[in-house]
Structure 1
Amino acid sequence: MLQVEALEKSFDGFMAVNGATLKVERGDVVAVIGPNGAGKTTLFNLITGQLPPTAGAIWFKKENIAGLAPHRVCRKGISRSYQVVNIFNRLTLFENVQVAVLSRRRKTFDLFRPAKTIAVDETRRILDSVGLLDKWAMTSGALSHGDQKVLEIAIALGNRPELLILDEPTAGMSPEETAVTLRLMKRLSGELGLTILFCEHDMGMVFSIATQIMVMQQGRTIIQGPPDEVRNNQQVRDAYLGGADECSA
């Protein structure tokens, strides 16, 4: 579904992404790991059109989408969440998700029909799928941090993506909230058949859900493979996973 080839991004001579490669098959759950500053978020920004690449190609369903604007990438079938929660705090949960659904349907302006009557069933189904339907009328800014992160995933689902990109989906969460998010990701992959690409610092979560793991170092891909192959790679164990104990999580 997605193939990144020799991707580069330079900021005034600093190579944030330096020849990175990545392959995501349909139905995979792929984790990108590496230390802070390895280039993970920059890689996601390049894939989703937030940044133009300096060089390289990004193939999505056999089309090179490198350099496309974010809204065009989204309409190709890629949605994402962010490290820092990105929601409309003054809107209700229902309205946050409805905005995404209406945008996908290109019904963002209609003088003759109240917005609250459009896409009601689909919006409710999405909220139900992430476990937030019972809070649909709450103002989003009143949610816990964990629920705000889940709401952001619901907003991404409003675009009916084929590829869902999650940037540190459990950052700042309690262990209980992390467990809820992990179950949600498993359900999105297993029941809805979504292809998921995510980066995460919780190695226990990574090895419990990922079908493939890509490891970045200084903007480069040093390995991509199944969890066991990555776990047993000595370079990865020494440099990124903190030794054998964390690798075996």
Structure 2
Amino acid sequence: MLYIKAVQKSFDGFMAVNGANLSVDKGEIVAVIGPNGAGKTTLFSLITGQLKPDSGEIIFKNENIAGLPPYAICRKGISRSFQVVNIFNRLTVFENVQAAVLSHQKKVLNLFSPAKNMAVKETEELLESVGLTDKADSISGLLSHGDQKVLEMAIALGNRPELLILDEPTAGMSPEETAVSIDLIRRLSRELGLTILFCEHDIALVFSISHKIMVMQQGQTIIQGKPDEVRENKQVQEAYLGGAN
């Protein structure tokens, strides 16, 4: 579904992504790991169009999408959540997700129909799928951090993506919230057939949920493979796993 080859991106001479390679097959859960500054978030921004690569290919479903604007990439079937929660704090949970659904349905410019009556069923189904039905009328800015991260995931799902990109989906969560979110990611992959690409600092979590793992260091891909292959790689052990198996 997604194939990245030799992608590079620099900022004022600093090479943030320096020849990254990545492949993601349909239905997989794939993790990108590496220390702070490895280039993970920059790579995600290149995939989703927030940044344009200096060189390299980003192939999504056999089409090179490198350099396309974010809205065009979103319409092709890629949605993303961010490290810092990105929601409409003053709107209700329902209204946040409804806005994403209406955007996908291209109804945001209809000035003569009350928005509250549009896409109600679709929005309710999305809220149910992520477990936020009981919070539909809550003001989003008053939710717990964990629920806000789940809401952001629901907003991303409102665009009906085939590939969902999650940037540190459990950052700042309690252990209980983390467990709920990981169960949700597994369930979305299984029940909706979603392909999921994510980055995460919790190494134990990464190895427990991923079909494949790509490791970045100084903007480069060290290895991509199944969890056991990555765990046994000497360079990965030294850099990220403390030298232990």
Quickly name the TM-score band, shorter chain normalised: over 0.9
Tell me, yes or no, if structure 1 residue 70 matches structure 2 residue 58. no
Q: Distance in 2 between matches of 1:17 and 1:5?
A: 12
Q: Provide the residue aligned with 2:125 in structure 1.
A: 125
Q: Output the CA distance in 1 between the equivalents of 2:223 and 2:203.
A: 16
Structure 2 counterpart of 1:93: 93
Cα deviation for residue 111 of structure 1 reads 2.5
1:113 is paired with a residue of what secondary structure?
coil
Where in structure 2 are the equivalents of 1:132-171 lying within 5 Å?
A: 132-171=132-171
Quick one: distance in 2 between partners of 1:72 and 1:217?
30
Q: TM-score, normalised by structure 2?
A: 0.99
User: Which residue is 2:179 aligned to?
Assistant: 179
Deviation, structure 1 residue 226: 0.2
Q: Name stretches of at least 5 consecutive residues in structure 2 with no aligned partner.
A: none
Distance 2:150 2:243 in 1: 31
TM-score (norm 1): 0.97
1:55-95, Cα deviation, whole Å (9 max, x unpaired): 10100000000000000000000000000000000000000
Counterpart-to-counterpart distance in 2, 1:111 and 1:76: 26
- Counterpart for residue 16 of structure 1: 16
Structure 2 distance, partners of 1:80, 1:230, is 25
- Give the aligned partner of residue 81 of structure 2: 81
Residue identity matched to 1:27 = G
> How far did 1:110 drift?
1.7
State the alpha-carbon separation in 1 of the partners of residues 45 and 151 from structure 2. 20
Q: Residue 59 of structure 1 aligns with which residue?
A: 59
Tell me which amino acid in the other structure corresponds to 2:170: T
**What is the rounded CA distance, in whole Å, between the counterparts of 2:184 and 2:159 in structure 1?**
17
How many residues are paired up? 245
Residue 236 of structure 1: aligned partner: 236
The equivalent of 1:41 in structure 2 is 41
Regions of 4+ moved over 6 Å = none
- Match of 1:216, as an amino acid? M
For structure 1, which runs of at least 5 residues remain unmatched after alignment? Answer: none
Alignment pair present for 1:188 and 2:188: yes
Amino acid at match of 1:47: I
Question: SS of 2:37's equivalent?
Answer: coil
Alpha-carbon RMSD? 0.7
Distance between the aligned counterparts of 2:213 and 2:168, measured in 1?
Answer: 14
Distance 1:19 1:243 in 2: 25
> 1:234 deviation in Å?
1.1
SS at match of 2:128: helix
**AA in 1 matched with 2:71:** H
TM-superposed CA distance for 1:172, in Å, is: 0.4
